[in-house]
Chain A
Amino acid sequence: MKTLTITVLLILGSACLAQPVDGQETHITLETAKELGRTKSRFLKETPADTKAVDAIPAANVDHFQALVAPLLNKSCLACHGSEKSEGRLRVDQLNPDLLTGPDVERWREVYNVISNSIMPPEDAPDYALDDVDRGNIADWLSGELNKASLIRRSSKVHSSFRRLTKYEYNYALQDLLGLPYALANTLPPETASEDGFKNSSELLQMSAMQFETYREIGLKALKRATVSGERPQPVTYIISMQDEMNSAASGKDPKTFDKSDESYRKQRNQPHLFNRETGTGVRFAAGKSMPQPEAVAGQTPPVSPVVLVLTRSKELKLDLDRFLPDEGIMRVRIRAGRSTMNPDEYASLRLIFSAHTSNNANFSQVVSERDIPVTESDGNPQFIHFDIPLSDIQRNPFRKLTTTFPRRDEFLHIHNVSNASGGEEQLSILIDYIEISAPFYAQWPPKTHTDIFIASDNKSDEEVYGREVLNRFLRRVWRRPVTAEEVNQFMALFSKYRPGFSTFEEAMLEVLATALATPEFLYLTQRETTDAAESPAIISELELASRLSVFLWSSIPDDELLKLAEQGKLRQTDVLTNQVQRMLADPRSKRFSQNFVEQWLGLDRLNSVTHVTDSSLREAMHEETIAFFDEVLKHNHSIMDFIHSDYAMVNERLATHYGIPKVYGPHFRKVSINPQTNRGGLLTGAAIMTMNSDGKDSHPLKRGVWMLKRILDDPPPPPPPNVPEVDLTNPEILKMTLKERIADHRNKSACISCHSRIDPWGIAFENYDALGAYRTQINDKPVDATSELFNRQTLAGMDGLKNYLLTDRQDQFARAMVHKLTAYALGRPLSFGDRADIDSLTANLRQRDDGLGDLIQLIISSNLFNTK
């Protein structure tokens, strides 16, 4: 039966290849290609492989090889891969046919790939051609043996999911544990990415003494930040009322006042100014100085004033706050603002910038607001917008405490209007009548972060009892499991040692808690050997599953709900688990998954190292697009084939402009329908991909090809051999060539052809996209030639042709690659040969469920792989 299936597949595949390469294929729409390609899936035809370890140990079927396979290989392969010639350093006649114990499994897998993908024997060698039956025979034997070998290897699996948390996971874990929304782990060294691009790969997550000490420092510092001592500090409060500012500006020396009826008003109104809406008078006002008001109380709502500050697009108010802001704590900035016009296509938002100018040439300025906050209400019904800025985390003026006046001590807060407003008579401005700045700001005292650690208790007066209560609660969350009394005793003993050195219980306890934050059970994802005879030794416990889940989907530790379900032994119940995964994906923390997985999967770090993107808003939009797109597919359980092509795009205004998609306004990403003429859809045509795979001036087909093979098809090309000849750019003949000709010239050198012919055609198909990913039809006045031919003679007519080919013929490969990448990320370890059968089975299940990304997450989580050590 199996033989038959594969033969059918091969016939289908060959039939497709046999089509004339006159572009006929590209006439079918990509949507049709999706459907057609799906019918070819081998995963839809086979019953999913039984992935449970078989009882009898499988044995190698060498007899079948000798009888049937070897003669075929001899006939069709040995001419190039035998004793006479051994291209690719492969000698098929010397491969050990015992895949289960022999050393040649990896080479056999290559043979399997080229045979089953009809890449070998080459089409231009008709003497050695394999007919479909023979091809099927080889492929069938190989696939069976490879699967058996995979199952054998399972019991001696090389990689473990026991690993340290990554830098970003540790940061989120600490944030979630302590309730602190700040970057806490910046002092840790960055992580190295694995071959697959993943930073959470167990093999690479090392630990050194320096790193260990950094964990201890970060832990103690974060705990001190989360807790408070003594009385509630008196905040410093600045109140800026535009009515008052107008009064003093108008009475100042040489006030630049004007009236709405003035000739000059058209010019004046574009500059920051104060404006009395009742009288129509205004005065220029771009910078103010404010001093703290000792009597002022923050959090007020005074009556709306007729006098407002008017900020048009890109304009700002610069407030000199002198030198009175405290060193630490939250600075809450409350701004009452409204929009002058309500055109829904226009937006206006507020951004905060902090700066100082300490002496000539010694200045700095820095955006301190995490994101721009849009003003959505009209000026008739203004809204309060607030920003919380952690004062100890931003660049401050180091001279603010000097007793002398030089270098200058002042600090400045800029309130900036970020907008897409167009000019004209009735242009959109932000109107502000009231600003309040207060620091340190506490919503309650003591803050929740404090009472989460030093919990309310009747036993507070008894340090022995209360200490245990604090530790019991804290350790449970740190270790993500119930804690024993002995374990608490150990920490209480440390507390007793520390206590005499400190004046308060809290100070001593923080040092103890900091020690808990340096324990391996916080820093690592553990998987214990089970002592319970009833449990299968390979299965991880429910508590371990809870941690694995939360690290996968939240890049952090489990919350209380997950932990409770695991403690009660309910988490693994099918419906409970499904519901929990849904809940976790609906939680904002799942954005971390989309971001970290996509960044690592696609290798987006490279976007930060290219130097030719000069517009930072474009760079940010490119980066965000890929994540927003993944998020969209995930949240709506769309097919993963949408990554290859979709009839929608995720864009904001900046990116839509770049792509030539009209009528998209505002900085937020949203789904828009696109037509084929947009030349977008899916991830491949994202500007981020094109930009990071460019050389700084122009497209870089080689980089794009390698990227495509590595990241999308999970078929990485071998690294370049040593002593590759460089393209000689001093040769006038070569200088005259187009890029594509140059590549072809290089490829045709014998040393290069074997690899480049596998890589370049993929990259050339991207040629319609320039170094910033903009679509082009001409390069240096010559029409773009983005047509290429793959190693197997398949023609790729540009991006459409490439997408068409992938959708028609490579769906299985992409689906399997996607499963592979997501599973490697979910497990935090490289997948080995031993995981092959599980990946196949997951892929089959995914394909049967119509390729939904949300389904894939559920499938992975309920898989054997995810639930075992």
Chain B
Amino acid sequence: MNDKSMLLSRRAFLRGTGVALALPWFESFAAAGPGAEETPKRFVSVYHPDGVGLPLKSDPAWQDWSWFPRGGEKDFELTKVLDVLEPLRSEITIYSGLSHPAARQVHGHSNADQYLTGAPIGGEGPYRNTISLDQVYAEHAGDFTRHSSLVMSTNGGVGGPRGAQTQSFNREGRPIPAMNRPKEIFDMLFVTSGKDAAARLARSKSALDLLIDNTRSLGRQLSSRDQETLKQYLDAVRDTELKLTKAQRWIDMPIPEVDTRNLHLDAEPKEARLYFQTMYELIYLAFLSDSTRVATFQLGRENGEGPHDLLSLAVGLHGAHGLTHEVKKPDGWKNLGTYNRYQAEEFGRFAQRLKETPEPTGQGNMLDNTLAMHGSASSSFHLSRNYPIISAGGKNLGFNNGRYLKFGKGNEDNQAGAGIDTDAGWTAKVEVEELPLAKLFVTILQRLGVETDSFGGYSGTLSRV
């Protein structure tokens, strides 16, 4: 298929999706350079705080409300917590035995900060984080799209040290503010005109022109050997110019028009169902229009209070954080499991939507080209171990789904750390061996096309994934 017919088909296809996405910008898209015409590789990570329910085997609730599946790699059996994902069974992978070594001795509530970074942020004192997984990929893929990444959370902003309200951290380890109002996210994606950006760009261009002139005149006064050194500077300026030209392209290009009739852009977290679905829909639209290929979404913040704690209203329960503390009360495990089930259900709905949408380039469906992760930085009760992680999609990236992958040693039935219900539970000594989650991150990065063999100081990939 040549470029033009491919683009035509993408356009024609999008018209038929019912989201009424008008895409006049595709004509110029063909000029966007390498990477742009290829099928996009996408990454999204969804984080939920407070971990999941892990009753002891001896507890009657174990059968139904333990988060991790029972059984082996292929023949696993989902409990009631994740049975909502059964229709997507062949599209998902569930992981156990993974955690960030640097965080194992830190209270789970301090850990949303390092779920995607693996940094040794510690539990108190000075605070320093490192780049997150999504931003490593955004550095790689960010130039192909209007927005290098879409960073969202229910609470918005950056939160506080060890109380993050964003999952994304830049190269310097600084938090990237998350957006939490659907209307603002929508406007950023599909409305903002970028007048300021245009003016800034024009200024930069004039500055670069001056710098090139200035450098040339300096170069004429240098020895030929020193001119070689100076050439590196000139190349850097020229590369920057190229980048500006690309940015200019986005500014000149009309923003995709999206029909908002079915979007509830005024939804608030306390209307949990509507809000969740709207936020997921925005990620979907951002991916569909190729406005970005990278997204993170944090559901609430660790340690309760604030808007996210009302998310459990969706299943008729009050105080999401409180659910983790009340597991030993009547129906405690069930209530926590019900809330986790709801989180999985919304994630599944999003994955299903991607699956039902054929990839505009004709390469399978959108889910096949998207790796969607869902997880938390603690399992049972504040314990920074055995992160409960699900991934969906990514078939075309090399992910072989329909499996339950157990890593590490000594915790095959996920009973280490199960049944904890005291606040000091996180300090419990855990003897089991777990693998660094960063190894999964390396696998993900490589499959997304980033040439790297390490993340956060850990090298090597995760076998069997």
Measured CA separation A366–B239 after assembly (Å): 39
Measured CA separation A444–B35 after assembly (Å): 54
Contact, CB under 8 Å: A511 / B203: yes
Q: List A residues 486-515 near B (Cβ within 8 Å).
A: 490-491, 493-494, 497-498, 501, 511, 514-515
Known interface pairs A211-B236, A364-B124, A526-B222. Does A520 touch B110 (Cβ–Cβ under 8 Å)? no
User: Which listed residue, B125, B127, B226, B243, touches A162 by the CB 8 Å rule?
Assistant: B226
Contact, CB under 8 Å: A364 / B160: yes
Contact, CB under 8 Å: A362 / B210: no
Known interface pairs A359-B305, A361-B302. Does A490 touch B214 (Cβ–Cβ under 8 Å)? yes
Measured CA separation A358–B126 after assembly (Å): 14
Distance in Å: Cβ of A409 to nearest Cβ of chain B: 10
Contact, CB under 8 Å: B163 / A366: no
User: Which listed residue, A213, A407, A494, A529, touches B160 by the CB 8 Å rule?
Assistant: A407
A residues near B229, Cβ cutoff 8 Å: 160, 162-163, 202, 524
Q: Does A527 contact B (CB under 8 A)?
A: yes
B residues near A491, Cβ cutoff 8 Å: 210
Contact, CB under 8 Å: A515 / B124: no
Measured CA separation A494–B205 after assembly (Å): 11
User: Which listed residue, B125, B172, B210, B240, touches A490 by the CB 8 Å rule?
Assistant: B210
Contact, CB under 8 Å: B225 / A160: yes
A residues near B109, Cβ cutoff 8 Å: 359-362
B residues near A521, Cβ cutoff 8 Å: 214, 218
- Write the chain A residue with the least CB distance to B204: A216
B residues near A862, Cβ cutoff 8 Å: none
Contact, CB under 8 Å: B233 / A524: yes
User: Which listed residue, B126, B206, B240, touches A366 by the CB 8 Å rule?
Assistant: B126
Number of interface residues of A (CB under 8 A): 54
Q: List B residues 198-218 near A (Cβ within 8 Å).
A: 199, 203, 206-207, 210-211, 213-215, 218
Distance in Å: Cβ of A507 to nearest Cβ of chain B: 11
A residues near B5, Cβ cutoff 8 Å: none
Contact, CB under 8 Å: B233 / A523: yes
Distance in Å: Cβ of A156 to nearest Cβ of chain B: 11
Q: Mark B252-266, 1 if CB is under 8 A from A, else 0.
A: 000000000000000
Measured CA separation A629–B229 after assembly (Å): 37
Measured CA separation A869–B221 after assembly (Å): 13
Q: Mark A519-560, 1 if CB is under 8 A from B, else 0.
A: 111011011110000000000000000000000000000000
Q: List A residues 340-377 near B (Cβ within 8 Å).
A: 356, 358-367
- Of the candidate stretches A394-402, A635-643, A689-697, the one touching chain B is A394-402
- Write the chain A residue with the least CB distance to B218: A520
Q: Does A206 contact B (CB under 8 A)?
A: yes
A residues near B107, Cβ cutoff 8 Å: 361
B residues near A519, Cβ cutoff 8 Å: 211, 214-215
A residues near B211, Cβ cutoff 8 Å: 515, 518-519
- Write the chain A residue with the least CB distance to B305: A406
Contact, CB under 8 Å: A362 / B110: yes
A residues near B237, Cβ cutoff 8 Å: 209, 212
Contact, CB under 8 Å: B223 / A160: yes
- Write the chain A residue with the least CB distance to B219: A520
- Write the chain B residue with the least CB distance to A400: B160
B residues near A523, Cβ cutoff 8 Å: 233
B residues near A406, Cβ cutoff 8 Å: 305-306
Measured CA separation A202–B228 after assembly (Å): 12
- Write the chain A residue with the least CB distance to B423: A360
Contact, CB under 8 Å: B240 / A365: no
A residues near B243, Cβ cutoff 8 Å: 209
Measured CA separation A216–B243 after assembly (Å): 15
Distance in Å: Cβ of B245 to nearest Cβ of chain A: 13
B residues near A212, Cβ cutoff 8 Å: 233, 236-237, 239-240
A residues near B221, Cβ cutoff 8 Å: 528-529
Contact, CB under 8 Å: A498 / B206: yes
Contact, CB under 8 Å: A365 / B124: yes
Q: Does A24 contact B (CB under 8 A)?
A: no
Measured CA separation A207–B162 after assembly (Å): 35
User: Which listed residue, A186, A365, A493, A527, touches B126 by the CB 8 Å rule?
Assistant: A365
Q: Mark B27-54, 1 if CB is under 8 A from A, else 0.
A: 0000000000000000000000000000
User: Which listed residue, A206, A362, A494, A511, touches B162 by the CB 8 Å rule?
Assistant: A362
The residue among A206, A207, A404, A529 with the most chain B CB atoms within 10 A of its own CB is A207
Q: Does B159 contact A (CB under 8 A)?
A: yes
Q: Does A568 contact B (CB under 8 A)?
A: no
Which residues of B approach A to under 8 Å, CB–CB?
Answer: 107, 109-110, 123-127, 157-163, 172, 199, 203, 206-207, 210-211, 213-215, 218, 221-223, 225-226, 229-230, 232-233, 235-237, 239-240, 243, 302-306
- 5 smallest CB-CB distances across A and B, nearest first, come from A362-B163, A209-B239, A361-B109, A358-B160, A212-B236
Please list 15 pairs of residues, one from A and one from B, whose beta carbons are closer than 8 Å in the complex, sorted by A's number: A162-B226, A162-B230, A187-B172, A207-B235, A356-B160, A358-B159, A359-B305, A361-B303, A364-B125, A404-B306, A407-B305, A515-B211, A519-B214, A526-B218, A527-B222
